[in-house]
Amino acid sequence: MMSCNRSVRRVAGWLAGSVVLLAAAAPAANYSRVCEPQIKPAFLPLPPGAVEPAGWLRDWAVAARQGITGHLDEYHLTFRDGWKGISIAVPGGEANGAGWPLEQCAYWLDGALRLGFILHDEALVQKIRARLDPVVDGVNKADFGTSLIYWRKGYKPEGFNGWAHSQLGRAMVALYLGSGDKRVLDALVKVYADYPSAMGKVPLVQCEVTGLCNLDAMLETYSLSGDRRILDRALAAMAQPEVVRDIRDWAKGSLPPGHMVVIYEDIRLPALVYPWSGDQRQLQATLGAVKWLDQNHMLPYGVASGEEFASGVGALRKTETCDVTAMLLTSSWMYRIQGDGDWGDRMERAFFNAGAAPIARDFKTMCYYQSPNRLRADSLPCEQPHSPGPAGTHFHQLGCPSVLCCVGAVNRIIPNYVIHMWMATRDDGLAATLYGPSTVNALAGPRVPVRLTTTTDYPFDENIRIKIEPQQQVAFPLYVRIPGWCQQAEIRVNGDPLPSRPDDNRFVKIARTWSAGDVVELKFPMAPRILRGFETEFPTADRGYFAFEPPAVFKPRRFPYASVLYGPLLFALPIADVDPNTPVKDARWQFALDVPRCQEAAGGKPRGGEALASGISVQRRSMPAHWDWPLDSPLRLTAPAQAFDWKPSDAQALPERPVTGDTRETIRLVPYGCTKFRISMFPVAAP
Ligand SMILES: [Zn+2]
């Protein structure tokens, strides 16, 4: 079934920041694992730290370090004391040190550790290791079959604790990959070689989190260790009759509209097991679930709605910040398995838009929910508190202070994007999988160290320059992704143009012998696009959960909206802010997008609900010296609009049909991620 050659195992590791080699003897590909599945995933991830952010992206990552990610343990007991095996006097905390804090604190530990690796910030890595190493030691000193909750002797995590366990499992895998510390892998093997295969189900109803999410860390542990007991348990977990029943209809695009974090975490599980099981139906189940999200709950910033349940489409529908994190994680796994550049497009859309909006510019406060249109700091509807009430859209040091998942999960967004910007390929090449400024140190060809420096202001600019510096002259293929929205990409190597027609996975392969100083230049011309769709009713699943009223929100509806995209960016009409919780007074935002005038003279067929918009113009200025998602954006669009008397309510955010405005005007739009208050889902003006 799978190739696994333990006798030639060679594991060599260096500390964070340098390349970790985990490879069998030739002919195994660079970065392949001790055990590889029969169905080979397309990409091999590089260890955390191989890719380092640069330029504007580094500014943002450093802000995270100086803000919430670097200091969350100073803000709340949950993060100060989680995973210490002591009782924490907080909501949901159990006397035995388990419960809610384990989940929330694991999110933070995982994100902060990864941020430390990508920034090569030894102080941050050591700070998090001081929390994780005692868990590693605790497990290694305990009897075989303990869990990461090692202080509870003989305990097998179940229910919520199983879910929390899965989250720390991922942090442990990152710790091993980033440090090469064998004791960490020993601990993971000790835990997962005796982990119960009945670890959870995936019903996607209510808010039921599942311990089945341990499959991420389990399969990583197996591929890194070759301990067959782990694979047997993982395969048995997905073969449980209840689980098979739960996922039976996913391939047909039929899922219960459950809790969105749980949906995003659960839907990848069949695909995760598929390379090992060879069961195509598992891959199809995940792909069907993704399609279901696209068709029913996707918002223009690239992440589905979730208040807390799947909430349909609407301009005031909300997305929990945990959903952004989970979406990116699931997409990175799918990208790795399938190698399809469409996953890169999806991740960029989510990261550059939904990743930035819920975080303050200084990364010192964040909010639990974002919504495409944000007109006030307290969540609508205030008069009927729900999910979890008006604090949900308020920026605070802890997000929503009574529910700490999002302030934990937000720390994973930047490092998980950066880690996946470059991946290794099966033919010993390297692939540019997600764009942005970075430096990567990786092995290519016959294990030759190569440094690739990507200089770009992407996505705020369309030019990308990659300088290649191999330690010695070396032949290897370099794969570059051509974004799906890009019509006429240009590729040059040392100034000479190359054909830019992508393969079926939307990559162009550049196979040649590389010398120090070679330069690949990419140009991805961007053009404004209009995305059109409809506000839909709320699914009824969450009707009882937060007593959501009024009943009208559940009545079938199809109210038109239009959004503006440019490259991977969603654009919004900004409402200037005094601070993230205070919009300026008297801002004008009551506009319908004049779609007919936007599309004057635009050619081409709409693609996926999107059409080119020649009536929108672009203004570009140089980037600021320091990047903090400024409202005074270096990139702006000007679009035709019509002013009209618009009175959105939480029951109905958009007019029922296209409107005829009082005056024709021009509005200026900036990237959605630069705004704190905004309109990004517009009513549509009538022809
Ligand atoms: Zn959350």
Q: Are 399 and 387 in contact (CB under 8 A)?
A: no
User: For residue 609, how far is its CA from the centre of ligand 1 (angstroms)?
Assistant: 30
pLDDT at 387 (0 to 100): 56
pLDDT at 4 (0 to 100): 61
User: For residue 148, how far is its CA from the centre of ligand 1 (angstroms)?
Assistant: 22
**Residues lower than pLDDT 70 in the chain:** 1-27, 379-388, 541-549, 600-608
User: For residue 530, how far is its CA from the centre of ligand 1 (angstroms)?
Assistant: 30
pLDDT, tens only, 81-111: 999 999 999 988 999 999 999 999 999 999 9
pLDDT at 13 (0 to 100): 35
SS3 letters for 148-193? CCCCCCCCCCCHHHHHHHHHHHHHHHHHHHHHCCHHHHHHHHHHHC
pLDDT at 28 (0 to 100): 87
Q: Are 42 and 92 in contact (CB under 8 A)?
A: no
94-96-102 Cα angle (round to 5): 60
Positive or negative: CA dihedral 657, 663, 669, 672:
negative
pLDDT at 554 (0 to 100): 85
User: For residue 302, how far is its CA from the centre of ligand 1 (angstroms)?
Assistant: 17
User: For residue 365, how far is its CA from the centre of ligand 1 (angstroms)?
Assistant: 14
User: For residue 285, how far is its CA from the centre of ligand 1 (angstroms)?
Assistant: 25
User: For residue 405, how far is its CA from the centre of ligand 1 (angstroms)?
Assistant: 4
Of 172, 205, 201, whose CA–CA distance to 189 is shortest? 172
pLDDT at 610 (0 to 100): 86
pLDDT at 391 (0 to 100): 82
pLDDT at 207 (0 to 100): 77
User: For residue 525, how far is its CA from the centre of ligand 1 (angstroms)?
Assistant: 36
User: For residue 324, how far is its CA from the centre of ligand 1 (angstroms)?
Assistant: 9
Rounded CA-CA distance 441/447 in Å is: 12
User: For residue 404, how far is its CA from the centre of ligand 1 (angstroms)?
Assistant: 7
pLDDT at 8 (0 to 100): 35
User: For residue 321, how far is its CA from the centre of ligand 1 (angstroms)?
Assistant: 6
Rounded CA-CA distance 346/328 in Å is: 8
Q: What is the DSSP letter of 351?
A: I
pLDDT, tens only, 24-78: 444 689 999 999 999 999 999 999 999 999 999 999 999 999 999 999 999 999 9
pLDDT at 382 (0 to 100): 57
User: For residue 259, how far is its CA from the centre of ligand 1 (angstroms)?
Assistant: 11
User: For residue 260, how far is its CA from the centre of ligand 1 (angstroms)?
Assistant: 10
User: For residue 489, how far is its CA from the centre of ligand 1 (angstroms)?
Assistant: 38
Q: Are 671 and 569 in contact (CB under 8 A)?
A: yes
User: For residue 499, how far is its CA from the centre of ligand 1 (angstroms)?
Assistant: 44
Please state whether the peptide bond connecting residue 308 to the residue before it is cis, i.e. omega within 30 degrees of 0: yes
pLDDT, tens only, 106-144: 999 999 999 999 999 999 999 999 999 999 999 999 999
pLDDT at 603 (0 to 100): 52
User: For residue 227, how far is its CA from the centre of ligand 1 (angstroms)?
Assistant: 34
Rounded CA-CA distance 289/248 in Å is: 11
pLDDT at 389 (0 to 100): 72
